[in-house]
């Protein structure tokens, strides 16, 4: 509160889904172009988790331990990434 918002992972594509890591200051960010990035909040460092695809990311979720990341797209594709 009382602080300006912090912008992480600026992109020309709109964000369509976000999930905060349950234990670390990391966000999984899904975009309308089907790309998904993992972004560290502290310094904005990014890791490409999924390359752009044919359909927007519509859902992103971490497991409780923060070791797996599930995603879904508007066209019904889905996956789980083990970290």
**In the structure encoding, which two tokens stand for residue 8, read together?**
């992480």
**Contacts of 4 by beta carbon, 8 Å cutoff, 6+ apart:** none
pTM of the full structure: 0.86
- Which DSSP string do the residues of 27-73 spell out, in sequence order? EEEEETTS-EEEEETTT--EEEEE---SS-EEEEEE-TTSSEEEEEE
* Between 33 and 5, the higher pLDDT residue: 33
Look at residue 11 and tell me whether its pLDDT is greater than 80.
no
Please give the angle made by the CA atoms of 46, 11 and 69, to the nearest 5 degrees: 45
Work out the pLDDT band at 9, boundaries 50, 70, 90.
low
pLDDT tens-digit map of 19-65: 999 999 999 999 999 999 999 988 989 999 999 999 999 999 999 99
């Amino acid at each position: 509160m009382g602080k300006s918002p912090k912008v992480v992972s600026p992109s020309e594509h709109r964000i369509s889904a976000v999930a905060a890591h349950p234990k670390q200051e990391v966000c999984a960010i899904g975009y309308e172009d089907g790309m998904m990035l993992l972004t560290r909040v502290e310094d904005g460092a990014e890791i490409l988790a999924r390359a752009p695809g044919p359909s927007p990311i519509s859902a992103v979720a971490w497991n409780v331990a923060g070791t797996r990341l599930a995603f879904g797209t508007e066209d019904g594709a889905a996956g789980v990434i083990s970290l």
